[in-house]
Structure 1
């Protein structure tokens, strides 16, 4: 059985939250800190940018492919074991990334070390939301989830800044070494504070190995295809083979899991329409946010004419606003409820994307920063209660599974969003450029007009899709499974299935 909330003191809750926040911060930081050092790594190892990009791609492939597997394992053998082991693997992998490539003068060792780091990242990423759902009482869940969202935004914002400083003033190795002391601290804190929880299932059936293999191959193939498709070309045989593998394996995964008594991913959860609506809302939110976050630097640098450092500084408005709204959402969840916050956040996001329609070369920086702040504020206000809703609808024996599912819904859709937005943008520019007979020798102002038109069409598409997020937020309902209720709230809560 899970330990009761009565076994934990306020000190334990605080330390558990610190451990979870450090995990969220580290995984978010590592998603953005590496990119800034890729040009330096490319120069040191004398490799083209397409090859060096595998430092980021390999991490994403393994992380996405493994997160569901570790979520299910945690449901079976306990959260503490997976969480602390994940921190150990992630910390060791971070040290390997910084040390081995230079020691052996080998780029291959960096890729291998990133794989180790990604396995650890999948372990801690899969468990973080589940720890909140499993150990925090209802009255504290909202604040805890808001704090986790804040640290995720902080890690995302700090990555490029910290990566630039470490690379410039120390060396690229330190973008990995920085994780080591944080990881050690998290292991020590977590070992003391997190209760030792045995497996949720007393007599578990054999682990779904085929499902794990299908998840890894299917998600890995999909992420590879969408990550490399724009570089190699969507008709490249490798990309087409990867897409075919993704469709076949993921399709068979659904059929296989529906037959299993103890599936790796229980698709029957989606028979609950409310669970389906909330997860679709999160998927579309991350999908749009990933694509827009990728495209905005191009707008700021190519249309507004900003230098990269100034562009990066402007983009921090997104993360800062997410930090603020994440904390605010945590404070308001208990008094307002998840659904109302999701609706407010979705409307704010859609309003921000509507404001994008007025972006141009003449837009003031105040308007641009304000628009980014509106979008970031809305995303932070939506993600915390949305995650809380999804976790609350699952029984305790499925917390690890749903927690890892939410992580897949973050990494996968953000990658898909980048490819989708990039594809629309390129196609829009080609269509407009061809119609206006624009070439590289055309005057600069005409070429900028074509760029601006491409951005305009993308922003229209983003706004239209954001309306679906608003609709899903209105369709959602606050629903709590009986497993997640405290005794004092059991009689008044709405019990899910």
Structure 2
């Protein structure tokens, strides 16, 4: 039998769950490793297929639209269900949510690797996104409920943020190597043994924690349906800009539907007894501001990987492996920035680190936008790329800390779901906007004549990166409005007292 909620409590001052009667305390190190590995796998899959798309297209005879939807289907399922996934972790417990999300994600990866056509592959990618939407909030909720002492929680969240950031950066590297040497199917198959190992490890090491009273019976079904449909319509409308103009009904129709559905969701949440998203949580200025900063920074960063991948392969003529390896420096810089943030946030609080991170990324974007069609990686890319990713590493964990500071334990999953939702929606918006700017600028330059295709592409990519700098500048402005470390500590004490 599992341990009852009342028998798994943190030991005073240690942040370590106390032992159940007659047993040993759960290993916090094991829980941290399991949570970080699962989050790495989820984030990795956002970008791992990018460099495999040409091989998938040739093998499965995909249309250009089908090729885009291999990426978009994952984003759609992931971003659309993150809020619901976060709330599920609160209602059924993070262990059950973790195992459920991991099981769906792993099975969908196997089905996708075996797919023999565009339809099954796109459906499998959408199912991966659904599994990831339940799994990702559960990983952060596991950390927040396992590590209760502030310093221990800060170190754990620093590791989680570094792994998450490195997962996004490593996707292109891993995808390139697997596609080149094992075949494109292994960008999906690689999740299967990892997922099975994590599932077994979670059964052995993740304790049965407290479950919200009433479990799923307290689920706000009308709210869940409207917010999931609204976010799905929003993301669908945004990613449709890749193949349609902003004035097309294929774009503004879903966006209008998203507005109506999200308005209905807000009305529902103000009326029901057990709302999916209690509106009081949105009155937390720090949470809302930190999530807006996360969304703006994510909009720039997600799109940067996409733009640089195209620049490497379409302008500089890199192979998939070489393009993937070009991102290694960014992965190292992200990890370095995350470690700096982890070691200093207890002294500075999140605001100074967020300001430094967004400022560093802004400088990097402005510098990177000046690369040339006949440029080289060491001269035109390496320096600004490292600045962009170092700033990302400095920002991610402090943004998560700020967004979850003072949030009651029973709403940890909801807070993490909100943070992940803002990040993913920001990524979808940023990719759509920057891709549109790049393609429009390239088409205009070609129509004017007198430039090569490589130069026109470079001009488009450079203009898109300038827009990325605008996003990070807005994120910097938001970071400057966050409260100080002492103010955050007071809000945390108030929540603990409540």
With normalisation by structure 2, the TM-score equals 0.87
Q: Which has the higher mean CA deviation after the structures are superposed, 374-383 or 109-118?
A: 109-118
For residue 79 of structure 1, report the CA deviation from its aligned partner.
1.0
Map 1:200-349; keep pairs closer than 5 Å.
Answer: 200-201=212-213, 206-301=218-313, 309-349=321-361
CA deviations on 1:113-154 (whole Å, 9 max, x unpaired) are 333322221111121122221110211112111211222233
- 2:111 maps to 1:93: no
1:46 aligns with 2:66: no
Residue pair 1:143, 1:327 contacting (<8 A) in 2 also = no
* Aligned twin of 2:382: 369
Contact 2:176–2:321, Cα closer than 8 Å, also in 1: no
How far residue 379 of structure 1 moved from its aligned partner, in angstroms, is 0.8
Q: Which residue of 2 aligns with 1:61?
A: 76
Alpha-carbon deviation of 1:26?
A: 0.6
Residue 96 of structure 1 deviates from its aligned partner by 1.9
Distance 1:265 1:377, change over 3 A: same
Shift of 1:494: 9.1
Q: What is aligned with 1:422?
A: 435
**Alignment partner, residue 409 of structure 1:** 422
Mapped to 1, the partners of 2:301 and 2:480 lie a distance apart of 20
Deviates more, 1:47-56 or 1:87-96: 47-56
Give the aligned partner of residue 40 of structure 2: 25
Partner of 1:466: 472
Question: Which residue number corresponds to residue 5 of structure 1?
Answer: 10
Moved more, 273-282 or 154-163: 154-163
> Partners of 1:155 and 1:186 in 2: how far apart?
16
Contact between 1:258 and 1:268, CA under 8 Å: does it hold in 2?
A: no
- Quote the residue 2:412 is aligned against: 399
Q: Distance in 2 between matches of 1:184 and 1:116?
A: 17
Distance in structure 2 (CA, Å) of the matches to 1:480 and 1:13:
25
Aligned residue pairs, count: 479
**Cα distance change on mapping 1:77 and 1:323 into 2, 3 Å:** same
CA displacement at 1:371 relative to structure 2 = 0.9
Aligned-partner Cα distance in 2 for 1:335–1:264: 35
Asked if residue 74 in structure 1 is aligned to residue 85 in structure 2, the reply is no
Counterpart Cα distance in 1 of 2:467 and 2:105 = 38
- 1:433 deviates by 6.1
CA shift, 1:92, in A, is: 1.7
Residues 495 and 471 of structure 1, relative CA distance in 2, 3 Å threshold = farther
- Equivalent residue, structure 2, for 1:127: 138
Aligned partner of residue 400 in structure 2, secondary structure: helix
Normalised to the residue count of structure 1, the TM-score between the two structures is 0.87
Moved more, 167-176 or 181-190: 167-176
Task: Please give the secondary structure, in 1, of the residue aligned with 2:35.
Answer: helix
Q: Secondary structure at the match of 2:27?
A: helix
Quick one: structure 1 residues 407 and 466, their matched pair in 2 at CA, closer, same or farther if it must change by over 3 Å? same
301 and 253 in structure 1: CA distance in 2 versus 1, 3 angstrom threshold: same
Matches of residues 421-440 of structure 1 in structure 2 within 5 Å?
421-429=434-442, 438-439=448-449
Structure 1 pair 299/10, CA: closer, same or farther in 2 (3 Å)? farther
Query: After TM superposition, where is structure 1 displaced by more than 6 Å over at least 4 residues in a row?
Result: 202-205, 481-484, 493-497
- Larger mean CA deviation between 304-313 and 285-294 belongs to 304-313
Distance (Å, rounded) in 1 between the aligned partners of 2:325 and 2:100: 36
Q: Gaps (5+ residues) in structure 1?
A: 485-489
| Distance in 1 separating the partners of 2:260 and 2:126 | 25
2:121 alignment counterpart: 110
Partners of 1:72 and 1:400 within 8 A in 2:
yes
Contact 2:137 2:420 in 1 (8 A): yes
Structure 2, unaligned stretches of length 5 or more?
A: 12-16, 19-23
RMSD over equivalenced CA pairs, Å: 2.8
